Amino acid sequence: MTPAASAAHRAAEAAARTAYGRLVALLARDSRDLAAAEDALATALARALARWPDDGVPANPDAWLLTVARRELGHRRARAATALAAEPALALLDDERADTPAPDLPDERLKLLFVCTHPAITPRIQAPLMLQVVLGLDAARIAAAFLVSPAAMGQALVRAKARIRDAGIAFAVPPPEQRPARLAAIRTAIYAAYGAGWGDAAPTGNDLAAEALFLARLVTGLAPDDAEAAGLLALIALCEARRPARRDAHGAYVPLDRQDVRRWDRDLVREGEAALRRAAAMGQPGRFQLEAAIQSLHHQQRFTGADLSLPLIGLYDRLLAIAPSIGAAIARAAALTAAGAAAAALAALDALAERCRDHQPWWAARADALAALGDGAAARDAAVRAAGLSQDPAERAFLLGRHAG
Amino acid sequence: MQYALIYHETAAELARRDNDTSAYWGAWDAYMGAMGAAGIMRGGAGLLPPTTATTLRIAGGEWQVEDGPFADTREKLGGFVVIEVADLDAALAWAARAPCAGAGSVEVRPTLPPPAA
């Protein structure tokens, strides 16, 4: 590849990554036709790759792409309407050569996020839809993270886009009385994208984690008054900060209490802590802020060596009061074990037994509580059961070794 | 519904039966134990390696007996189970827990319903 061609490639790729959602939002805002907007943008990106190496990268690549994609959309409509394919080719060429003015393109991505998470869209397709139309991920990659077949994911996305177009879901910011619930739907979808593929809390996460982090940053930028959005960003940033430390040099799983804190990503820790402070200052506590605060306490415990298990249990109690979940209840029991109250932990776990028969974290927490109570044989059985329910080879090996012999 | 989970392992993964014995069998025992404890197992078997296979075809009334599996593929059939679960998502969740899911593949297939009486 010549230097000019590779520069054009890089510019087109950068435009695709950073501007995809912004351009889709602008292209679909009036027609509500996301599929057509994406097709037109794909055509524009292909044309950019063909032309920029010779013509040079335009001063405002986004505006260039928008112009070409809009023209493409217009042609498609004209073709559909009149079946006439005669194109004003010279005008097209002029348009693309013209030094496109560089207006400040409005950022309509918040409206796009509201559309993707509209109550009329099936909840389970909201996160995949967001990943596709805001970030341009292909259906196969999304399908892999959500553990469904690419064909099924592709069909579900096509159906959701047709529904947006045909049901007339508006590209609009919802009225104030609906805004909190609609913002909550956006956060839920981002969290689902982050959690997709984690299965039973496998330690690796999935390759959508970076995308979820991007979306969380985006929402805090677009809705800076939303404390829970900042809480979600804090939670994802703090969890992602630990990713480099979750495996040792041999690929073996390392639990939080044994991780090398020097391998945590300092920038993400700072970003998460700053987001948590911003959220707390708004005085609207919520589920994601509490979960982020729990991660933050875990970090402080590791950084300072202080025993913060009692405040941790307090945070879990508050979390369970506003957002009860199996995961939080099990985590609270694990905190009880860590605080030296293994008998209470075991009792709390027993109360969940009915719903947790095939739930890996429950068996792992049970193994630790039993081991703390000195029942080695029962701890070993529970750890083996947890290993049998794990989807992650490193975690499985860790659990099999945890209470062995 | 009943599904067959058909486990395919890479040659390297199969070799762990001999060179990484306790970790390999520990993982499979834990997995099979969890399915047994969940009460979903309806049948199945682990298989000895493909080198032990003998393949028979009859052509024109003649037996043709060959050493080895019916097809020499990159991933080898290591065994299968039949489980009873609510739906494909539940079957996939159990497939994902198989030790070979990350070192081979798991084919999930509904079993044929019993013939109508």
Alpha carbon of B102: minimum distance to chain A alpha carbons (Å): 7
Please report residues of B whose CB lies closer than 8 A to that of A364. none
Residue of A nearest to B26 (CA): A400
Within a domain: A59: yes
* Contact residues on chain A for B93, CB-CB shorter than 8 A: 199
| Main-chain phi, psi angles of A353, to 5 degrees | -55, -40
Q: Is the pLDDT of residue A392 over 90?
A: no
- In a domain, residue A79? The reply is yes
- Please state the φ and ψ torsions of residue B76, each to the nearest 5 degrees: -105, 145
- Is the pLDDT score of A343 beyond 70? yes
Give me the CATH number covering residue A350: 1.25.40.10
Question: pLDDT band at A94, cuts 50/70/90?
Answer: very low
Q: Provide the residue range defining the domain that includes A328.
A: 307-405
Q: How far is A268 from chain B (nearest CA, A)?
A: 29
Give the residue-averaged pLDDT of B67-91.
89
Q: Specify if B115 maps to a domain.
A: no
Domain boundary residue, one of A69, A95, A121: A95
Task: Provide the pLDDT for residue A17.
Answer: 64
Residue A265 has pLDDT above 90, yes or no: yes
Pairing state of beta strands B75-84 and B41-46?
Answer: antiparallel
- Name the pLDDT band for A15 (thresholds 50, 70, 90): low
d(CA A182, CA A173): 9
Which of B41, B97, B106 should be substituted to probe chain A, the one whose Cβ sees the most A Cβ atoms within 10 Å? B97
Asked whether residue B117 is domain-assigned, the answer is no
- Average pLDDT across chain A, whole number: 86
Contact in structure between A403 and A383 (CB atoms under 8 Å): yes
Give the model confidence (pLDDT) of A359-378 as tens digits: 999 999 999 999 999 999 99
Tell me if A68 sits within 8 A of A39, measured CB to CB. no
Average pLDDT over residues A209-236: 94
The reported pTM is 0.78
Nearest to A45 by CA among A69, A73, A78, A28: A69
Any B CB within 8 A of A252 CB: no
| B34 closest CB neighbour out of A199, A389, A393 | A389
SS3 content of chain A, % helix, strand, coil (to 5): 70, 0, 30
Range of the domain at B74: 2-110
Domain stop point among A51, A67, A95: A95
Q: Between A147, A391, A400, which is nearest B30 by CB? A: A400
Question: ipTM surpassing 0.90, yes or no?
Answer: no
Which has the minimum average pLDDT: A15-29, A75-89, B81-95?
Answer: A75-89
Domain boundary among A48, A69, A95: A95
Which segments of A223-357 does DSSP mark as H helices, in order? 227-241, 266-281, 287-304, 309-322, 326-338, 342-350
Q: What is the mean pLDDT of residues B91-99?
A: 93
Q: pLDDT category, A205, cuts 50, 70, 90?
A: very low
In a domain, B56, yes or no: yes
Q: What residues 187-206 of chain A have any CB closer than 8 A to a CB of chain B?
A: 199
Task: Look at the block and give the residue holding tokens 């992650």.
Answer: A392
Asked if residue A247 is part of any domain, the answer here is no
Tell me, yes or no, whether A334 lies in a domain: yes
Q: Do A391 and B97 touch (CB under 8 A)?
A: yes
Phi and psi at residue A84, to the nearest 5° = -100, 125
> Which pLDDT band holds residue A48 (cuts at 50, 70, 90)?
confident
Say which of B30, B96, B102 has its CB closest to residue A387: B30
Task: State the nearest Cα–Cα gap between B97 and chain A, in angstroms.
Answer: 4
Domain count, chain B: 1
Residue type, A348: A
Which two structure tokens, joined as six digits, stand for A161? 């886009």
pLDDT average, residue stretch A107-124: 91
- Which residues 110-149 of A are in CB contact (within 8 Å) with B? 147
The band of A80, judged by pLDDT with boundaries at 50, 70 and 90, is: low
Q: How many domains does chain A have?
A: 2
- Residues on chain B touching A147 (C-beta within 8 angstroms): 92, 96
Asked if A63 and A100 count as a contact pair (C-beta separation under 8 A), the reply is yes
CATH of the domain at B101: 3.30.70.1060
- The Cα–Cα gap between A15 and B1 comes to 48
Residue A206 or A140, more confident: A140
